[in-house]
Amino acid sequence: MEHYIVSARKYRPSTFASVVGQPALTSTLKNAIASDRLAHAYLFCGSRGVGKTSCARIFAKTINCENPGPDGEACNCCNSCNDFNEGRSLNIVELDAASHNGVDDIRAMIEQVQLPPTQGRYRVFIIDEVHMLSNQAFNAFLKTLEEPPSYVIFILATTEKHKVIPTILSRCQIYDFNRITIRDMVDHMSYVAKQEGITADPAALAVIASKADGAMRDALSIFDQVAASSRGNITYQSAIDNLNVLDHAYYKKLIDAFLANDVPQALVIYKQIRDKGFDSQFFVNGLALYIRDIMLAASPHTLPLLEVPDQLKTEMAEIASRCKPEFLYKAMDLCNTTDLNYRQAANKQFLVELMLIKLCQPLSPSQSDSGDGEGQLKPIAAFSSNQAPNQAVTYQQTEAVQATAQTVAEPAARPEPTPAVTGRLRLPTPGLSLRKTAHVETETVTAAEPHEIRSTPYTDDAVINFWHSYMQSHSTAHLLVNIMRNCQPERIDGDRFRVAVENDIQISLVNDNLGNIVTYMRNSLVNDNFSLEVALKDGPSSPKTWTEREVLAHMRRTNPQFDAFVDDFNMTLL
- pLDDT tens column, 263-321: 999 999 999 999 888 889 989 999 999 999 999 888 888 888 887 777 788 888 888 88
- Centre a 10 Å sphere on the Cβ of residue 322 and count the other Cβ atoms it contains: 11
Q: Give 445-475 pLDDT, tens digit per residue.
A: 444 445 578 888 889 988 998 888 888 888 8
How remote is the C-alpha of 460 from its chain's centroid? 62
- Domain(s) labelled CATH 3.40.50.300 in the chain stretch across 7-176
* pLDDT above 50 for 155: yes
Q: How many whole angstroms separate alpha carbon 98 and alpha carbon 22? A: 25
**Burial of residue 293, with CB atoms counted within 10 A of its CB: 0-12 exposed, 13-18 middle, 19 or more buried:** buried
Provide φ and ψ at 55, rounded to 5°.
-65, -35
Q: Which of 50-64, 265-279, 551-565 has the lowest mean pLDDT?
A: 551-565
- For residue 41, the surrounding DSSP H or E stretch is strand 41-45
What pLDDT was estimated at residue 553? 78
How remote is the C-alpha of 114 from its chain's centroid? 52
* pLDDT above 50 for 19: yes
- At residue 301's C-alpha, the angle toward residues 295 and 304, to 5°, is 80
Q: How many whole angstroms separate alpha carbon 71 and alpha carbon 61? A: 15
* pLDDT above 50 for 50: yes
Q: How many whole angstroms separate alpha carbon 126 and alpha carbon 164? A: 15
* pLDDT above 50 for 322: yes
What is the arithmetic mean of pLDDT over 187-210?
Answer: 88
- Domain(s) labelled CATH 1.20.272.10 in the chain stretch across 248-359
Q: How many whole angstroms separate alpha carbon 307 and alpha carbon 293? A: 9
Q: Give 81-129 pLDDT, tens digit per residue.
A: 888 888 888 888 888 888 888 899 889 988 888 888 877 788 899 999 9
Helix (H, G, I), strand (E, B) or coil at 339: helix
Which CATH number, 3.30.300.180, 1.20.1250.20, 3.30.70.20, 3.10.580.10, labels domain 398-536? 3.30.300.180
- Domain(s) labelled CATH 3.30.300.180 in the chain stretch across 398-536
Please list, in sequence order, all residues whose beta carbon lies within 8 angstroms of the beta carbon of residue 534, skipping any fewer than 6 positions away: 434, 435, 498, 499, 501, 507, 510, 511, 514
Name the more confident of 446 and 332: 332
What pLDDT was estimated at residue 255? 92
Q: Tell me the CA end-to-end span of the chain in Å, nearest whole number.
A: 90
What pLDDT was estimated at residue 431? 39
* pLDDT above 80 for 383: no
- Centre a 10 Å sphere on the Cβ of residue 150 and count the other Cβ atoms it contains: 9
- At residue 512's C-alpha, the angle toward residues 509 and 516, to 5°, is 120
What pLDDT was estimated at residue 336? 93
Of the candidates 281, 284, 279, 257, the residue with the CA atom closest to the CA atom of residue 268: 257
- For residue 478, what are the CA distances in angstroms to 82, 301, 483, 485, 507? 93, 65, 9, 10, 15
What is the arithmetic mean of pLDDT over 319-337?
Answer: 90
How remote is the C-alpha of 16 from its chain's centroid? 40
Q: Which of 17-21, 145-149, 444-448 has the lowest mean pLDDT?
A: 444-448
Q: How many whole angstroms separate alpha carbon 391 and alpha carbon 421? A: 9
Mean residue pLDDT across the chain: 79
Q: Strand pairing partners for 200?
A: 234
Q: How many whole angstroms separate alpha carbon 159 and alpha carbon 180? A: 15
Provide φ and ψ at 285, rounded to 5°.
-65, -40
- Domain(s) labelled CATH 1.10.8.60 in the chain stretch across 182-243
| In contact, 325 and 350? CB cutoff 8 Å | no
Q: How many whole angstroms separate alpha carbon 448 and alpha carbon 417? A: 7
What pLDDT was estimated at residue 154? 93
Residues of the chain above pLDDT 70, percent: 82
Rg (CA), the chain: 40
Q: Give 174-183 pLDDT, tens digit per residue.
A: 999 988 888 8
What's the CATH class of domain 182-243? mainly alpha
Name the more confident of 467 and 423: 467
Question: In which band, very low, low, confident or very high, does the pLDDT at 362 lie, cut at 50, 70 and 90?
Answer: low
* pLDDT above 70 for 227: yes
Q: How many whole angstroms separate alpha carbon 46 and alpha carbon 128? A: 12
Question: In which band, very low, low, confident or very high, does the pLDDT at 229 lie, cut at 50, 70 and 90?
Answer: confident
What is the arithmetic mean of pLDDT over 416-426?
Answer: 40
- For residue 366, what are the CA distances in angstroms to 190, 363, 373, 374, 524? 49, 6, 8, 10, 44
* pLDDT above 90 for 400: no
Query: What CATH number labels 248-359?
Result: 1.20.272.10
Please list, in sequence order, all residues whose beta carbon lies within 8 angstroms of the beta carbon of residue 529, skipping any fewer than 6 positions away: 414, 431, 453, 455, 494, 495
Q: How many whole angstroms separate alpha carbon 8 and alpha carbon 216? A: 8
| In contact, 486 and 435? CB cutoff 8 Å | no
* pTM (predicted TM-score): 0.57
**Burial of residue 335, with CB atoms counted within 10 A of its CB: 0-12 exposed, 13-18 middle, 19 or more buried:** buried
Question: In which band, very low, low, confident or very high, does the pLDDT at 542 lie, cut at 50, 70 and 90?
Answer: low
Q: How many whole angstroms separate alpha carbon 43 and alpha carbon 159? A: 11
Question: What's the fold here for domain 7-176?
Answer: Rossmann fold (3.40.50)
- For residue 267, what are the CA distances in angstroms to 281, 287, 532? 15, 14, 58
